[in-house]
Amino acid sequence: MPNVSVKVKWGKETFPGVEVNTDDEPVLFKAQIFALTGVQPDRQKVVCKGVTLRDDAWGNFKLTNNAIVLVMGSKEEDVPAAPVEQTRFVEDMNEAELATALDLPEGLMNLGNTCYMNATVQCLKTVPELKNALLNYDKTSGGGTAGELTSALSDTMRTLEGGQSGACAVATAKLLHALHEAAPRFAERGAGGGFAQQDASECWSEIVRALQSRLPVAAPVPGDRASIVEQYFGGQLDVELVCAEAEEPPSRSTESFLQLSCFISQDVKYLQSGLRSKMSEQITKMSQTLGRDAIYTKTSKISRLPAYLTVQFVRFYYKEKESINAKILKDVKFPLELDVFELCSPELQERLAPMRAKFKELDDAKVESTLSGKNKSHGDSRKDTKRKAVLPYWFENDVGSNNSGFYRLQAVLTHRGRSSSSGHYVAWVARAGGWLRCDDDTVTPVTEEEVLKLSGGGDWHCAYLLLYGPRILEIPEEEEPMVTEANEDPAGEPPTALA
């Protein structure tokens, strides 16, 4: 029987009735011990009947019901307590104290080269609609390995919201196990026997693919968008192919996407130019006219903008000599606010125009107010205290779309190192009032300037994945204009701004 109930003894403390599933990896049991004792897994020595538990396999470590498991190891923070509580300044606080003082959210423990998974989860957590769908997920709905992965991510979101570090350790271990079951390649071991480092972009795609199949939309929506992922992350391209070597009528089709790619060439210095170059490219395909492969010009235009736009910097390429995915360290600047209007089809541009005009009107009014001095304290301050109305960021008949083409950066997943299978991944996420760096279980505040320095150019962290959310339009309530393409959500839900 894989499920047993044991007694965990740590120092003078005993924890009876600890449920252990030996079909899970030992790291999950160590995470349970961490939740009970506060001893980090890498500081634990776990012994039963003279056998020490390894990190990678149970081996000869046999557990039976009511067996006594001895745990040796101390907490990192075990230091003699100060006799009198003294005033602490922010500059003198360690990271744990700073997190408490600033009410920082919980991080995720690194279980051995699992930073790629932790960073992915923290970035996806910034999407309110996705987070809420996971918090409300029915974990009894089945769904095979995709269902188990979605259920484990749901538990992780719940514990992150609860802010309990011990519970987060257990939830992270369960999530890792579910990821390994859904995609066994992530369970590969390195030379030392521990988990091998994995590509964060591949992890992102694997998790999103599972959520796509397991999180249905709350209400029927037009088109083929049956899941929360397709509704809020899914875009569409109008594609035209023109043969450069023969007189052929252009072929037209549509393609769906969950993220855009920014290829990095010698000429690409900015995100926008990298996206532009991908929208017009040369490809080789079979020509029915010539009866052979021929060069075609492929032109793509966005015909549906998702509320949340994921962009991947294509930084890794396969280096045959070393048999590794080598990294392009080139500096490519990205903006805090992104406008993708020029990448859209003429039809979509026409639909975006009304909301863009409202943004321009509001921006012009702010400039005029600043120039006239009305924003100063001795001016008319009543306008500044008026309640604001939040306009929907989606089209009336397409909840989950973007109706302006304007985006605001809300998460950056970075990589530090020279190959995708080594180095370290970190999430940088926006929240009300600033930015946070989520480096596994260490969460610290950072500035916008620090985020913009993640553009590459050296051995510091380089942006690998960007997540942009919709720019939200707020106007004084009594001045709310008629909205032509963006009215209330049919379900009656107000638009959600970034928390």
Q: Which residues have a Cβ under 8 Å from the Cβ of 1 and sit 6 or more positions away?
A: none
Looking at residue 458, what is its pLDDT? 80
Q: Is the pTM of this model over 0.85?
A: no
List pLDDT tens digits, range 60-76.
Answer: 888 888 888 888 888 76
Question: Is 424 labeled as catalytic in the residue annotation?
Answer: yes
Provide the 10 A C-beta neighbour count for residue 475.
17
Catalytic residue, chosen from 48, 115, 168, 243, is 115
| Structure token digits, residue 223 | 């088109």
Angstrom CA distances, 58 to 46, 146, 196, 237, stand at 11, 26, 19, 50
| Structure token digits, residue 451 | 């985020």
Tell me, yes or no, whether 97 lies in a domain.
Answer: no
Angstrom CA distances, 261 to 163, 278, 280, stand at 34, 7, 13
The mean pLDDT value for 368-394 works out to 69
DSSP-assigned letter for residue 82: P
The mean pLDDT value for 444-450 works out to 95
Looking at residue 87, what is its pLDDT? 45
Domain count along the chain: 1
| Structure token digits, residue 139 | 């974990």
Q: Cα 29 to the chain's mean position, in Å? A: 27
Tell me, yes or no, whether 409 lies in a domain.
Answer: yes
| The pLDDT of residue 268 is above 50 | yes
Query: CATH code at 283?
Result: 3.90.70.10
Enclosing domain of residue 162: 103-499
Distance, in Å, from the CA atom of 360 to the CA atom of 107, rounded to the nearest integer, reads 39
Distance, in Å, from the CA atom of 42 to the CA atom of 55, rounded to the nearest integer, reads 9
b vs e for 250-260, b when ≥16 Cβ sit within 10 Å of the residue's Cβ? eeeeeeebbbb
Tell me, yes or no, whether 12 lies in a domain.
Answer: no
Tell me, yes or no, whether 70 lies in a domain.
Answer: no
Question: Is 438 labeled as catalytic in the residue annotation?
Answer: no
Provide the 10 A C-beta neighbour count for residue 466.
26
Q: Which residues pair with 310 in a beta bridge?
A: 467
For 214-330, where are the E strands, in sequence order?
Answer: 235-243, 251-257, 260-263, 280-287, 292-304, 309-314, 316-319, 324-327
Tell me, yes or no, whether 18 lies in a domain.
Answer: no
Catalytic residue, chosen from 180, 344, 424, 462, is 424
Tell me, yes or no, whether 24 lies in a domain.
Answer: no
Looking at residue 375, what is its pLDDT? 53
| The pLDDT of residue 488 is above 60 | no
Note whether 37 and 18 are within 8 A (CB).
no
Give the torsion sign (CA, 91, 94, 95, 101). Answer: negative
Note whether 416 and 315 are within 8 A (CB).
no
The mean pLDDT value for 43-56 works out to 84
Q: Which residues have a Cβ under 8 Å from the Cβ of 114 and sit 6 or more positions away?
A: 172, 176, 195
| Structure token digits, residue 411 | 């998460």
Looking at residue 26, what is its pLDDT? 84
